[in-house]
Amino acid sequence: MGKRLLDLLAAGLGLLLLALPMVAIALAVRLDSPGPVFFRQLRVGRHGRLFRIHKFRTMVADAERRGPGITVGEDTRITRVGAWLRRHKLDELPQLIDVLRGRMSLVGPRPELPRYVAHYGRLLGAADAARLLALRPGLTDPASLAFRDEAALLAGDADPERLYVEELLPRKLALALAYAERASLRTDLGLILQTLAALLGATAPRPPTS
């Protein structure tokens, strides 16, 4: 209950305070390239339920037909405004709506595409996979902070999809499981502060361990 209350208060306040900047971003996205303001994509949520995640669109409108589901390096599908939004993580702001609707939380494992969740059982085992999927996915988590340069890492490999599934995804899942073991309001607040510090370019303190 405490976690959900934090989600509701923070997401509601965030949307209220950021309403004007979000309107400005929406206009910039619309003027920069043809297509919708928002990008919606099916992700796997709590207990394996599918939901559509919301982001500001950062790629050309038909990006999913032009390339892979992961972003690799200087992806040519990314628009000019999109590159700036991604650099500052502002494309994620509409996910506050998903938090209000109960599809996501402020802190929790990032929601993955169904085709990557299909590997959870093989990589983790059935019990740990179910344990992770019992959590509400979040805007930020330890893996998001550890792999902020994920696109650059993938760009350095000849087969980025294989690298993601076989090397990066297991490491991200291990971090998610470690978070699940110690999750509390205190750890969530620490991760939120760490995320804000990272976005501002500061050296963030380590989140509390209990």
Residue 204 lies in a domain: no
Residue 209 lies in a domain: no
In the numeric block, which tokens belong to residue 64?
Answer: 């999913």
- pLDDT score for 75: 80
Residue 210 lies in a domain: no
Residue 50 lies in a domain: yes
Residue 100 lies in a domain: yes
pTM score: 0.87
From first to last of the 210 residues of the chain, give the pLDDT tens digit: 689 999 999 999 999 999 999 999 999 999 999 999 999 999 999 999 999 999 999 999 887 777 666 777 678 899 999 999 998 899 999 999 999 999 999 999 999 999 999 999 999 999 999 999 999 999 999 999 999 888 888 887 888 899 999 999 999 999 999 999 999 999 999 999 999 998 887 443 444 443
Sign of CA dihedral 42, 97, 94, 1: negative
Please report the beta strands in the chain, taking only residues with DSSP state E, as ranges in sequence order: 38-44, 50-56, 105-107, 138-140
Nearest C-alpha neighbor of 176 from the set 123, 100, 118, 103: 123
Q: Work out how many domains the chain is built from and give that number.
A: 1
Domain encompassing residue 180: 2-199
Residue 48 lies in a domain: yes
In the numeric block, which tokens belong to residue 52?
Answer: 């559509």
